[in-house]
Structures are given as structure tokens and as C-alpha cells.
Chains A and B, each alone.
Chain A
Amino acid sequence: MNKQLEHQFVTELENNQNIVHKVCTLYTNNRDAHNDLFQEITIQLWKAYPKFRGDSKFSTWMYRVALNTAITLYRKSKRRIKTQDYESVIFKIKADEYDETEEEQLKLMYKAVKQLNDIDKALVFLYLEDKNYAEISETLGISEVNARVKMNRIKIKLRTILNP
């Protein structure tokens, strides 16, 4: 029984691991920390899995656990070894896909997002993942109106980072 549950969980997570990787990318700065956070999120997901009833999609449920772990439960890893310029690996932009200016602008955008605080990052993340304001407010525990207001402020904040 337990084995079956475990198999089911690992398969679901394997198929949806992109969500966790994206959260890790936003909240960490090197590969070690990325893996560390990925592991902690996996543990939290697995611990909570018996409570997952299946009345929502597994991926929807993952957003909440992954963000809660990144924002609240995870202690930043002591190891701060810079193995490589991590961002350039993950946020790699293929030159032939974009024209120069757009590529440059996107790079700056990603950099700007990484500079935001934990909560702002969570809002941007959910926004980029195409979540509506109802879902954003439910995940973070703020009202829908406040989520909208906050998102507008973040847009202004990003704009000022980009065009100082």
C-alpha cells in the first residue's frame, strides 16, 4: 500500500518537476542551493501527500507547498560556494530566437525579478505561471484586491529597476 503510494507520488512529481525547479531557480543563486531547496520541497510534498485528496490537480497543490517551503520553511543553506554563473545556465537565452534588444531586455528583467523580496517574487512567479488573482490570493493568504494592488506596485518597481 505504502509502496504504491510512494510510486504514485514519485511519478507525479517526476512529471511535474518543472514547477519545483522554477521555484528553486527564483529563490536560490547557485546549484547547491537549488538542489538543497528542491530536496526540501520534495520532502514537504511527500509528507503532505497522504492529505492530497485529488480534488484539485496535483500541480495546483504543488504550487502551494513549493512556495510555502521556499518562503517560510526553508533555511538558507550555509554552503555558498559559487560553482558557476548559475543564472546564465538556467536563464539561458538562445541568441537565434530573439533579436538583440529583446534578449538584452529579458536578461535585465530576470535580473530585476531576482532582486525582488521573497513575497514579491512569489507573486511574480504565480503571475508568470498564468495563475489568476483568485489563485494568487488563495495561495498567499491575502485578499484578491491586495494581490492586484501589489502586482501593480511590483510592475512599477520592475520598471524603475529597468529604467533608472
Chain B
Amino acid sequence: MMDELELLKKDWQKKEEHLPKLSYDAIHKMTWKKSSSIVKWILIISVLELVLPNLLLLLFVGTEDWSNTNLGLMKNYYLAFNVLYYVVVLYFIYQFYKRYREISVLDDSKNLMRKIIKTRKTVKNYVIFCLATILISFAFYIIGFYIDESILLNFKGIVEKAKEVPLEKIKITAVWIFALAGILFALFMGGVYFLLYGLLLRKLKVNYTELKRLEV
């Protein structure tokens, strides 16, 4: 049986004359265009992920409501928690930068894919950390309500409400609201993230699996 590929190879090399031909100017213009590669997208999404939660936090902390909030007995824990949070965020920024710099189009295909997946893993860990932080923050409040009523009373309108309804009941309602809000918020953020990356890296994952499958 004749090797079909050999036949194709002969024809393939004759094909050159049928290929499009771009002018010097057309190519020159292209060098000024912006890349829309997945690496670029990972960078954009990651920077947003780093900036947005912290921006929200800063806006929240900056409001009068917050500065008036007396965290009571929880204050020191909260401060320590915050310091720890920013140390970890800085660590993630450093890690991400390092991984991002390692990605090179000059690598062989398998290595390139491996490095992109590694970079994505860093982002994934960061998102998990962020989600955990959100949940812990809400848990902080819930615990706070129990050990120090003044935290609850500091919320707008609670003092007036407490005159009509027993404080115990408000406490239970607040705990439920915070617990549900925390879980919903985390689920929403997580959902958006996994959808975004799932779509972005679907092709890469298929190809990487294919290349890895060759090695066994």
C-alpha cells in the first residue's frame, strides 16, 4: 500500500504558490496590534482579581460607617487577621509575577502549556484564599454577635429595632443573614471565576492532556 502521507507531502510542497501573500506594510502594521492570547487574558483577569476585592475593602473601610464601628473585643483579632491577609496577598502577587514571567512562546509546546497551567494554579489558589477570607470575615461577625453585643448594636437602626423586638431574636436573624450572604457571595465569586477560566483554558487542557497521554 502506498503511503498516502508521502503523496500528500509532495503535493503540500507544491502548494506554496496558492498561499496568500501579505505585503511588507501589512505585516508591519500587525506588529503594532495588541495580542489577544490567553496569557494576556489570564493576566487581565488576575490583575482584576487582585485589585477588585481589595478596592471594595478599601471603599468599605473608608466609609464613615466603618470607622465608627466598634469592633469591641474582636478588634485585635480583626487587625491581626487583616495584617495576615495582606501578607498573603503580597505573597500571591509575587508568585503570580514569577510564574507569569516564566511563560515563553519559545518553550516547547508541552512546557509552555505546563507553565500556563501552573500560573493558573497560582491564580486558583489565590481565588480559593479570597473566598475563604470572605467566609472568615462573615464568620468573624457571627462570632462577634455572640460574644459582644455592641458589634450588633453598632449597625444602623439596630438600637431602635431592639426597643420593639427582643435582642436575642435580632441576633439570630443577623446570624442567618450573615451566614447566607457569606455563602452566596462566595458561591457567586467562585462561579464567575471557574466559568471564566473553564472557558478560557478548555482548548489548552485538551491539548495538554493529549501531549501528556503520549508519555505513558
Contacts and interface: CB of A to CB of B under 8 A. Distances in A.
A17 B5 contact: no
Contacts of B162: none
Nearest to A140: B109
B33 interface: yes
B21 A72 contact: no
Interface in A125-149: 127-130, 138-143, 146, 149
A155 interface: yes
B215 A102 contact: no
A95 B25 CA distance: 34
A14 B27 contact: yes
Given A21-B19, A138-B108, A141-B107, 17 more contacts: A42-B33, A43-B30, A44-B105, A46-B31, A48-B105, A61-B106, A68-B105, A68-B107, A71-B207, A73-B37, A73-B105, A105-B7, A106-B11, A118-B207, A118-B210, A143-B215, A158-B4
A51 interface: yes
Interface of A: 6, 9-11, 13-14, 17-18, 21-22, 25, 34, 38-40, 42-44, 46-48, 51, 61, 64-65, 67-69, 71-76, 89-93, 102, 105-106, 109-110, 113, 117-119, 122, 124, 127-130, 138-143, 146, 149-150, 155, 158-159, 162
Q: Which 3 A-B pairs have the closest CB atoms?
A: A141-B110, A141-B108, A73-B37
A36 B107 CA distance: 22
Contacts of B16: 18
A158 B4 CA distance: 9
14 contacts: A9-B31, A13-B27, A14-B22, A22-B19, A34-B20, A39-B33, A40-B37, A43-B34, A43-B37, A48-B106, A75-B200, A118-B203, A118-B207, A128-B9
B27 A17 contact: yes
A96 to B, nearest CB: 13
A102 B7 contact: yes
Contacts, number: 158
Interface stretch (B56-64, B78-86, B111-119, B132-140): B111-119
A76 B16 CA distance: 25
The main secondary structure of chain B at its interface with chain A is helix
Given A44-B37, A143-B215, A158 B5 contact: yes
Interface size class on chain B is: 35 or more
A25 B12 CA distance: 12
B107 A150 contact: no
B61 to A, nearest CB: 37
Interface of B: 3-5, 7-9, 11-13, 15-16, 18-24, 27-28, 30-31, 33-39, 41, 104-113, 116, 200, 203-204, 206-207, 210-211, 214-215
B38 A73 contact: yes
Contact of A139 (B104, B108, B116): B108
The main secondary structure of chain A at its interface with chain B is helix
A25 B15 CA distance: 11
A51 B4 contact: no
A6 B38 contact: no
B31 A155 contact: no
A67 B207 CA distance: 12
Contacts of B38: 72-75
B111 to A, nearest CB: 5
A10 B110 contact: no
B67 to A, nearest CB: 45
